[in-house]
A and B are shown apart, each in its own frame.
Chain A
Amino acid sequence: MSEQLLKNTGKLSGFFLRRDRLRIPIWLLSITALTLAIASYFTNLYPTAQEREAIAATMENPAMIAMVGPGYGLDNYTFGAMMAHQMLLLTAVAVGIMNILLVTRHTRSDEEAGRIEMIRSLPTGRLANLSAAIAVLFGTNGFLALAVGFGLFALQIESMDLFGSLLYGAALGATGIFFTGLTALFAQLTSSSRGTTGLSISALLLAYLIRGIGDVSYEALSWLSPFGWILKSEVYVNNYWWPILLTLGVSLFLVILAFYLNRIRDLEAGFLPAKPGRKTASPLLQSPLALMIRLQRTSIIAWAIGLYVLGASYGSVMGDLEDFFDKNEALQQLLKPVPGFSLTEQFIPLLMTIMAIISTIPTLMALLKLSSEEKKNRTESLLALAISRTRLLGSSFVVAVATSLIILSCAVIGLWSAGAATMDEPISLGTYYKAALVYLPAIWAMIGLTVLLIGIAPRWTNLTWAYLIYSFVVVYLGRLLEFPEWMSNLSPYGHIPQLPVEEMDFMNISFVTLVALGLTIIGFIGYNRRDIYG
């Protein structure tokens, strides 16, 4: 019986580990390193109990509770309590995503690509593939739990003892195992890897969301979410282990259900009915522009929501910003006081730089979609129709420019709406908007550069990402680390006036816009002259 079901699970597990010999270590290393780095960063940022008390006070607003969870031990805000409060939930989300991606990769993705068919044609058990995937991920999560647990303890930070640190690691590992089980189950229900990832990520977001609502208003709701459970372990404060056991128990149930469903279904079938798509195209889908929008709408909407949330999370701390700066020397270094402006107002340009640079990411992705279409040999089908190259590149260009405007607006609206809710004297939407819109020419310069690369150096389009990272480092971190000015002048973001603190500078803005225009024009000419690869 078990021969029939599980034969060669061990060998398959070894094979998965080999296929993931870089992927899994990179995930583990990133999550562990980030956790340890932030724990030690906290000790530098808030060295005294007084400073920690100040930050604890800013945590008691609904926006923060919704975002990072209810604070335990706020009255005695030790480093441990701070870590468990501010980092545990967000890290658990990252661990959840890791598990969703890895499980899908080894279950539905392989099945969809016909690779499991080949595995099954060999003398392997019917459930060997699923059990190997689950075994590998259980091991990965277990390893993560121990690495984080012992790693945190090894930092020897006061209030972070061995028992608490191991519980912190175990909370992450248990969340991971829960999402392994959930994704394994969804991999049986849906019949495509996209469906599996989509359903699992939706479940993760839903779990995060209902826990947020539960923690803020109606506590019983939090009991429906695995994130709610693990936060109840109150790591470093009361150190309860039962939430870990609860999470593992439910995970085990999910895994058993997944095995059962896998056993009774056909290969490449799913339990959820695949709904038939449109038989004919919508009347709107009749231009390359419409196609580009159609192909990217989900990703653009997701980024818009993401940037709104990012803006809102910055906005939610706006009200407490003055207190925050008063009591913290590290943050004061970031901003040199300017007479006539409040600290909050001075904080705006810094936020706008970050949000403008982040908004550039989906913008460039929208443009570079054309490159990936070319690599997948689909541009050929379009150019074989009565579509000129100028029109094709122009469509991507229009989508990119529109994306920059939409995404940046969402970030600003998020910042403004959450800011207005928490501040005694809210800053007007207009002030925020002006400070954000001046960054559009810099984003357009990045668009121009990307069009140029697509037009004349299509194999080097990734350079644009390197330049964006450079811009982020010199313009944002440059302030902290005091880089020489010419370094930030090499980035378009360095030429943008810092509204509302600085005066509007039309010279600089026009200069950046003209550069953007020039690059774009050369790019279009190049695209009309070169070969299309594929």
Chain B
Amino acid sequence: MSLLITKNLTKKFGSFTALKNVNLEVKEGEVFGFIGPNGAGKSTTIRILLGILKATAGEAKIFGLDAWKDAVEIHKRIAYVPGDVNLWPNLTGGEVIDFFIKLRGANPKGRRDELIERFALDPTKKCRTYSKGNRQKVALIAAFSSDADLYIFDEPTSGLDPLMERTFQEYVLEVKKEGKSVFLSSHILSEVERLCDRIGIIREGEIIETGTLDELRHLTRTHLLVKTKQPITDLDHLPGVHDVLEKDGAFSLHVDPEHLDHVMKHISQFGITKLESAPPTLEDLFMRHYEVTQGAGGVSQCQNNS
């Protein structure tokens, strides 16, 4: 069952098209990763989902309700943490957390104190004195204390230290275990890789790829590091080999999956003494899409403008 669906979602700011026909789907109980470079339209998408911006065309539905018209009804079952948390400088962190919890209608007091402890926040300080990371913690604590069905996070860990990042990840996995859904927009690819069941990549307002990580991995190259008895020749000219670098007699290269067999046969002729291979990471996937669409995107942009 789908909790969140967008169909041909389009948003224009004046003549600038921020989102173009965005189609997304988040199923019940899954963690969906939403990635893309700065300015690609991640936050715009989230704000439309929250009914803060009105879509120019297309539709966005959460729990089967319209994101704009039924915003209040939807928000009763949602918890949201923005990327840049802005709080009221003269309220304390504890006051803001309580305020958020009360307005959402939930009141799991025990969870609140546990979360404050786990995230190591001093709730008696005024928000004015909090660093970016601490403001983020306030929003995260308020979000996880509520008993929501869908959690929307917009780059939630951008100011947290690695320990707190891990705490965040643990709580995401915990709510997932409870059958809740999570929509996670992030820059930190390792985080997305670790948490998300499916991902969507957005670039220049368009979704360029969606699917599970495994589905997308076929698009990426395996990284190899090899050392041989005799120096390898002709490596550059083999089909499917990219980015060859030589250092101290060892070669580092990227290989397209369909050519891997062929390349390995070639290398083995030179007597392998050391071989390391790394699976394609989300980062590679992301970078590759970035490179590929840069050329194609540039052309389509020109056409749009003319």
Tell me the A residues contacting B by CB distance below 8 Å: 192, 194, 274, 276-282, 285-288, 291, 294-295, 376-378, 380-388, 529-532
Binds A, one of B96-104, B185-193, B197-205: B96-104
B27 proximal to A (CB < 8 A): no
Specify the chain B residue showing the minimal Cβ separation from A378: B86
A381 near B82 with CB under 8 A, answer yes
Determine if A278 and B94 form an interchain contact, defined as CB atoms under 8 angstroms apart: yes
Known: A285-B95, A286-B103, A385-B104. A295 touches B88 (CB 8 A): yes
Residues of chain A lying within 8 A (CB to CB) of residue B50: 380, 383-384
A532, B103: Cβ atoms under 8 Å?
no
Pick the most buried of A274, A387, A388, A531: most chain B CB atoms within 10 A of its CB. A531
Flag whether B304 is at the interface (Cβ < 8 A): no
Complex-state Cα separation, A329 to B85, whole angstroms:
61
CB–CB B75/A281 < 8 A: no
Please give the residue numbers on chain B whose beta carbons come within 8 Å of chain A beta carbons, in ascending order: 47, 50-54, 71-73, 75-76, 78, 80, 82, 84-88, 90-92, 94-100, 102-105, 123-126, 128-129, 139
Residues of A within 8 A of B53 (CB): 531-532
Nearest neighbor of A382 in chain B, beta-carbon distance: B103
7 smallest A-B Cβ distances: which pairs?
Answer: A281-B98, A277-B92, A276-B124, A286-B102, A384-B80, A281-B95, A386-B76
Chain A residues with Cβ below 8 Å from B97 are: 281
Q: Which of A279, A385, A532 contacts B123 (CB 8 A)?
A: A279
Give chain A residues whose Cβ lies under 8 Å from the Cβ of B95: 277-278, 280-282, 285
Secondary structure of the B contact surface, majority rule: mixed
Q: How far is the CA of A278 from the CA of B88 in the complex (A)?
A: 14
The residues of B that contact A279 with a CB separation of less than 8 Å are 92, 94, 123-124
Residue contact B102 to A281, C-beta cutoff 8 Å: yes
Give CA–CA (A388, B126) in the complex, Å.
27
> In the assembly, what is the distance between CA of A25 and CA of B103, in Å?
48
**Across the interface, do B99 and A386 meet the contact criterion of CB distance under 8 Å?**
no
Choose one: A194, A276, A383; the contact of B52 (CB below 8 Å). A383
Residue of B nearest to A277 (CB): B92
Contacts of B139 in A (CB 8 A): 381
Residue on B nearest A380 in the bound complex, by CB: B52
Is B82 touching A388 in the complex (CB atoms < 8 A)? Answer: no
Given contacts A281-B95, A378-B88, contact A385 B103 (CB under 8 A): yes
The residues of B that contact A294 with a CB separation of less than 8 Å are 91
Question: A29: shortest Cβ distance to chain B, in Å?
Answer: 32
CA distance A380 to B53 in the complex (A): 10
A383–B123 Cα gap in the complex (Å)?
Answer: 23
Contact A380 B82 (CB under 8 A): yes
Inter-subunit contact B72/A387 (CB<8 Å): yes
